[in-house]
Structure 1
């Protein structure tokens, strides 16, 4: 929720106000090119191997798809629709709430759906590498003791949770 919320707000700001694009977008694009998993050693130094480390990695990972899809969704709203709204006398706020946001909603939801899938991948890797509890920890612990059945149950749990997240998205 943290990374997605920040991505949504920043995407709305940079997509709506052209003044902020050169200030914020280039910096976001630069940081976006750093793989989230490359941050794991730094995150372990900062947060240890607690839940905060996993939350930070997930927040950083889901931020970018939501930001990019929100930004491009707002920028790609049909100019004809905006002109039509102006001809009907809509205020700036009316244009934004009745034309721009609904026009960008499909892109925003695509970013949300992609972020949910990415969230599961990052959570699995974070739990596998640096955790003291969780499905990833259980699976890695079972791997060390050659408990294939427990490893398969962990994988099936991840598949089930991913499917549920996809259904509810």
Structure 2
């Protein structure tokens, strides 16, 4: 059975939406959906707030109750019937994210065993046929095929295999 490794943030969870929600809460500045999907979040915020997204990500509640990316549950459920699925998140950078991410996965993807959830730093350790991720840095030493999941921060990144949503993942892998 082939293996698919799937990133969490900006692939199955909407972390950018949380950044925008908290930024509006703290500074009363709201971004449109078009802005959020067409630019890096860091490029949207005021220059004096540089570094704020990183600060948010270290907050204990940041990764709690993130919105799920449309279509991800259904497509991953179908992929799970044909492939061995691993959720692989570079969570070690934000250690406070470990428990909230684990709970989130249990709530939204209960059929994925805890043995198939990998909290790591360098994703090159993952032995899979495909890695669906929003950051090409994780493909550099990955032995399988990197599949870039489009996000505002990677629109100008050149990568051969790219999907824009979960329906395109379905079309590619099912």
Structure with the higher strand share, 1 or 2: 2
TM bin, normalised by shorter chain, reads under 0.3
Structure with the bigger RCO (C-alpha within 8 Å, sep 6+) is 2
Taking structure 2 as the reference length, the TM-score comes to 0.25
Taking structure 1 as the reference length, the TM-score comes to 0.25
Structure number, greater radius of gyration: 1
Structure with the higher helix share, 1 or 2: 1
